[in-house]
Amino acid sequence: MSEIDNEVQDRWGNSAEYKQSKERTSKYSHAEFALAKVDQEAATEMFVYAFGNSLPVNSPESQNAVIAHRQAISKWFYECSVEMQKNLALMYVEDARFKKYYDDRARGLAQYVHDAIMAQ
């Protein structure tokens, strides 16, 4: 197991979401993982569009990105409730790795994604 796998196991190994994700992803082919990434990237690009156009976090475009984000997680990994999505949003600004993922797209995007998810 990698260091990241160990961290994930330690943090969420006892959760229903972790178990559901492990069960689903254990059956995925490389092509299915690629499709999951496409869905995730599409949601991220929706956030990029809304952020880049200075739309409010509660705008329809931003909130459509929030929905697409939650749906991609639910489709490919685990049933992502609004509450769980808000927990993820905290990680996007508190964990440097997640923050970097978004802020490498556009400086300030991590905070925008967080704020949009919290605004739902």
Largest CA distance in the chain: 41
* Phi and psi torsions of 115, nearest 5°: -65, -40
Q: What is the pLDDT of residue 18?
A: 80
Residue 4 is assigned to a structural domain of this protein:
no
pTM: 0.88
Q: What CA–CA distance (Å, rounded) separates 93 from 97?
A: 9
Residue 60 is assigned to a structural domain of this protein:
yes
For residue 47, give the CATH number of its domain.
1.10.490.50
Residue 23 is assigned to a structural domain of this protein:
no
Number of domains in the chain: 1
Q: What is the pLDDT of residue 4?
A: 55
* Enclosing domain of residue 94: 28-119
pLDDT-derived band at 78, boundaries 50, 70, 90: very high
pLDDT digits (tens, 9 = 90+) for 13-48: 567 888 898 899 999 999 999 999 999 999 999 999
